[in-house]
Structure 1
Amino acid sequence: MEYMYAHVSVDCVVFGFDGNELNILLIEKEGTSDLKLPGSLIYQPEDTDSAAQRVLYELTGIRRMSLKQFKCFSSPDRAADARDVAWLETTYGHPVGRLITIAYLSLCKINRTLSAVARSSGARWCPVSAVPAMPFDHNRIVEESLGEIRQWIETEPAMLFELLPAKFTLAELRGLYQAIYRKRFDIRNFCKKIARMAYVVRLDEQQTDVAHRAAHYYKFDRIAYNRTRRAVE
């Protein structure tokens, strides 16, 4: 049996929340209008962490984003589609054999400005509910990253607030939970759940210029959160 001849790449899954829906950062596949995850083969002197940071900067203009490696995707079927392989070989200028990717996951505020570099590469926020068919196994990577986020929330709920503005309403927070878990949360039960979180602090400030009843704003209190975590430990 032969040992495999492989190339190693990184793919970055970056989620943002627009107040109503969970979005994912996608870019255009070079030379086409098709969308894909930001990614690249790894250069010889790079490790996977520095390659992931390079990808985000080169393809989106985003620097120093917190990225967490969450899974290696190595199925022999990743490059089963001849069109994907042809595109990859044309883009990188040499034959590509087995393709293994290290996936990285990040959460960020969706109002983060994308640079001119990002716009030239066709970077855009796409609602998770409207993600198109993508090359390789990028759709599977997105699905598994959603499962990873749910696990994060159970063990480190502070990460959830990376997706929200500094001041947010309970409706926005509930909408975020619903987007991530893909199910509806009863309003009363959800409010009770949040009331048990000492680190979600209600502010005296309310919404203005809204057609409906003005809602109170809340904030995430990092000090209270750390105090709560230490008490649990």
Structure 2
Amino acid sequence: MESMQGEVIYPPLANNHISVDCVVIGFDGTQLNVLLVNRHGEEDGLAYHDMKLPGSLIYQDEDLDGAALRVLNELTGVKNIKLMQFRAYGSKNRTSDPKDVHWLERAQQARVERIVTISYLALVKIDRAIDKSLDAHKAGWVPLNDVKRLAFDHNLILTEAMHYIRDAAEVNPVMLFDLLPRKFTASQLRTMFELIYGHAIDVRNFHKKIAMMDYVVPLEERQQGVAHRAARYYKFDRKIYNKNRR
């Protein structure tokens, strides 16, 4: 929102000590990626450029879930994805770096001290629609193995988000299929599981495992225009999965 003089006017903050942070994990067929935003600023006369999870303080007139969706959309352009809360972080050391505080105070035009953040998680397919939304923002996908030091305690939040995904998938494996395209190969499925759990999976045994997953349905369609033997496509059938859970 802008005033008559063209100045940006922010809605009132609910509390200068409450924020939301979003961990968005995407799979591109070969590796897991996290959605990060670029942060520019200056501290002690030195310019810096680093990255962080999409996150910010919440407004007075919104609840936590609404704030997470708003912040993610404002910082990355991404919308219409399912975010779920997975943990709160309130260590007194979260804002121990003056650079982080300086950047946030300038961005929010408010004094900031200790901040409690509510972390959200989403698993998404990396597709053209999402990539297009990132073009107009200072945001992008970074392979998990290439993530450097992030602002605040965002490295810790990202690490614990991956632990959460592994634990949750043991109870509800269907959530992992949110990372895959509508149709996928057995190799893509195996690669995704290997990346999530951090170890190699025997190809032959994995094909046997797929055969036992009646909700992973083989299609008649195969890959086109590949140099190797064309692989069969599969699809995840949510109706079969839900029926078997009753």
TM-score by length of 1: 0.91
Q: Which residue of 2 aligns with 1:211?
A: 227
Q: Which AA in structure 2 matches 1:10?
A: V
Between the two proteins, the alignment pairs up a number of residues equal to: 226
- Maintained 8 Å contact 1:60/1:114: no
- Maintained 8 Å contact 1:10/1:40: yes
Pair 1:130 & 2:146 matched:
yes
Q: Which of 19, 23, 33 pairs up with 1:23? A: 33
Q: Which residue of 1 aligns with 2:196?
A: 180
- Residue 108 of structure 1: SS of its match in structure 2? strand
Alignment of 1:113-192 (within 5 A): 113-114=129-130, 118-192=134-208
Deviation at 1:112, TM superposition (A): 4.7
Deviation at 1:216, TM superposition (A): 0.8
Pair 1:62 & 2:72 matched:
no
- Maintained 8 Å contact 2:16/2:110: no
Cα distance in 1 between the residues matched to 2:107 and 2:231: 51
- Maintained 8 Å contact 2:33/2:141: yes
Q: Which of 9, 34, 42 pairs up with 2:19? A: 9
| Structure 1: gaps of 5 or more residues | none
Deviation at 1:117, TM superposition (A): 6.6
Seq. identity, %: 52
- Maintained 8 Å contact 2:223/2:232: yes
- Residue 81 of structure 2: SS of its match in structure 1? coil
Cα distance in 1 between the residues matched to 2:198 and 2:185: 19
Q: Which residue of 1 aligns with 2:87?
A: 71
Indicate the larger mover: 114-123 or 83-92.
114-123
Cα distance in 1 between the residues matched to 2:29 and 2:128: 14
- Residue 62 of structure 1: SS of its match in structure 2? coil
Deviation at 1:64, TM superposition (A): 2.5
- Maintained 8 Å contact 2:77/2:137: no
